[in-house]
């Protein structure tokens, strides 16, 4: 990804990570509800999971929308233009700072979920749905870390650097 076009990297994030989140966030929400209903009495810590996960979901869904409809189109335009486009938000760094802040918030929520689930450890007596939920949360964490890495460490710095090479029209 260090040498791919920024448009290709945006496409990859959308087609891989955003598609994954759009599929998994609703599925995991339902699974968490089932697990809390079935195991909450014996594992009262589970009652903290739905609001934590809802906060993560409520952060990520509008986050993806902003990337898909504001930031990524701006990055694609920047890459395809000889001059620096005039963005309504000023420099490309402005929405990037917001996205990075939201990444931090999502990372904090994931850390709390990991802690609450004892590093996704399956407790004795866990049903298959409980096991699948923990596995799904662990997979979500891994995917989100890769997603954030691609953006924070590759896409965003390259977009900011590219904007610095463009002459304001």
Lowest mean pLDDT among 8-22, 26-40, 74-88: 74-88
Mean confidence (pLDDT) of the chain? 95
Q: What is the average per-residue pLDDT within 129-153?
A: 97
Q: How far, rounded to the nearest angstrom, does the alpha carbon of residue 131 sit from its chain's CA centroid?
A: 23
- Mean pLDDT over 81-98 rounds to 92
Within 10 Å of residue 124's Cβ, how many Cβ atoms?
Answer: 5
Average pLDDT of span 43-58: 96
Express each pLDDT in 61-86 by its tens digit: 999 999 999 999 999 999 999 888 89
What is the biggest distance separating any 2 CA atoms in the chain, rounded to whole angstroms? 65
Residue 153's pLDDT is 97
- For tokens 């920024």, name the residue: 6
pLDDT score for 1: 76
* DSSP character string of 105-161: HHHHHHHHHHHHTTTTPPPTT--HHHHHHHHHHHHHHHHHHHHHHIIIIIIHHHHHH
Does the predicted model carry a pTM greater than 0.85? yes
Q: In the predicted model, what is the mean pLDDT of residues 141-153? A: 96
């Amino acid at each position: 990804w260090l040498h791919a076009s920024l448009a290709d990297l945006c496409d990859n994030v959308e087609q891989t990570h955003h598609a994954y989140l759009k599929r998994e966030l609703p599925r995991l929400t339902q699974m968490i509800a089932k697990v809390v209903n079935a195991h909450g009495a014996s594992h009262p810590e589970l009652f903290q999971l739905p609001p934590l996960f809802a906060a993560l979901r409520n952060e990520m869904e509008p986050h993806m929308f902003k990337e898909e409809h504001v930031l990524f189109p701006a990055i694609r335009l920047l890459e395809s233009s000889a001059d620096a486009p005039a963005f309504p938000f000023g420099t490309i760094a402005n929405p990037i700072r917001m996205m990075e802040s939201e990444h931090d918030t999502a990372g904090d929520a994931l850390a709390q979920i990991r802690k609450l689930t004892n590093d996704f450890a399956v407790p004795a007596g866990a049903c298959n749905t409980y096991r699948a939920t923990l596995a799904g949360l662990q997979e979500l964490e891994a995917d989100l870390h890769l997603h954030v890495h691609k953006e924070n460490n590759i896409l965003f710095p390259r977009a900011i650097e590219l904007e610095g090479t463009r002459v304001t029209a």
